[in-house]
Each structure stands twice: as structure tokens, then as C-alpha cells.
Amino acid sequence: MKLLVNGTAHEIDAPADMPLLWAIRDLVGLTGTKFGCGISMCGACTVHLDGAPVRSCSLPVSVAQGKSITTIEGLANGGVDHAVQQAWQQLNVPQCGYCQAGQLMSAAALLAKHPHPTDADIDTAMAGNLCRCGTYVRIRQAVKLAAEMVAGGAK
């Protein structure tokens, strides 16, 4: 089975029903995408499938075949961090950081769809991503900062 992850093709040997998450982590070897719950309730495993955010813990790898998969390792564009990464760094959002790959992927997908999100847009788009350390207030601020950065010309 062939998987296209962050622009690179990987040949893997996986059963069709293996969740994309485990294929990415154990078989492709990219561990930035995290396991949190296995039932799409926490968002730690969020990746982009042809640009749309999906919970990789509950998506059979076969569904991702032939599609473009972007993980946190591929979010930066040619060495330049995505605006959400820059904003997250600037506002020191992460605490333990474990959920943040999923948060960043959800936030990047939100901004791609809504370049100027309201608080309500942010809460709706990010409500699927749990953070046990409690970084929510900073996440809201960082999404807004990233939106400003994008408006100012950042990627």
C-alpha cells in the first residue's frame, strides 16, 4: 500500500482497517501525530487529508490511499513555519505539548477556511481538541494572532 505523507511516498504493509494513525506512527515512522483516545474524542491525532482535518485514529488507512496526507511534520512550508506555529511559539502556548500537534492541525485547517475567525468560530473548530494542561485561553489568542499574521502576508 502506498501512502503520500508530507509530499513523500511511503510503501507500507498494513491491513486495510489499520487506523491511519498507527500506519503513520509505527509504519511510516513519523511520531508527531499523537494517540489520545482512539475514538475521535480528543483530536490529538488530527492530520490533513487533501487539506481537510481528519481524526487519524478512526480513519482506516485504506481511505487515505491515493490522497495527500499532511502531518505536523509537514505543516511548515519549505522551512518557513506556518502562521499557527509562529503564533503558538510567540505566545508560548504549549505546556506538555502532547495535544498541540492536533491543535495546530485543527487551527491551520480553520484558518484555511475562515481567515478571520470569531471567538465562536474558534471555539467551534477547536472544541474537538482536548488539552489537559489547560492552554485554551492561549490557543484562542494564538489563533487570532495567526489570523493577523496571515492577513499580514505570512503563510
Identity (one letter) of the amino acid at 13?
Answer: D
Specify the stretch interacting with other proteins by CB under 8 A; choose among 48-56, 62-70, 116-124, 146-154: 116-124
Instruction: Identify which of 155, 151, 139 has the alpha carbon closest to the alpha carbon of residue 91.
Output: 139
104 binds other proteins (CB under 8 A): yes
The correct pick among 18, 49, 62, 68 for binding other proteins (CB under 8 A) is 18
Letter for the amino acid at 63? Answer: V
Evaluate whether 36 touches 45 at the Cβ level (below 8 Å): yes
**Any idea what DSSP says for residue 71?**
-
Kindly list the strands in the beta sheet with 46-49, ordered across the sheet, starting from the edge strand earlier in the chain: 8-11, 2-5, 68-70, 46-49, 52-55
Closest of 109, 150, 149, 152 to residue 128, by C-alpha:
109
- C-beta of 56: minimal distance to other proteins in Å? 12
CB of 18 to other proteins, least distance (A): 5
Q: In this complex, which beta carbon is closest to other proteins, that of residue 53 or of residue 94?
A: 94
- Asked if residue 118 binds other proteins (CB under 8 A), the reply is no
User: Where in 22-81 is the site for other proteins (CB under 8 A)?
Assistant: 22, 25-27, 29-39, 41-42, 44, 71-73, 75-76, 81
Beta carbon nearer to other proteins, 112 or 133: 133
d(CA 128, CA 152) in angstroms, rounded, equals: 28
Sites of contact with other proteins (CB under 8 A): 14-15, 18-19, 22, 25-27, 29-39, 41-42, 44, 71-73, 75-76, 81, 85, 88-90, 92-101, 104, 119, 122-124, 126-140
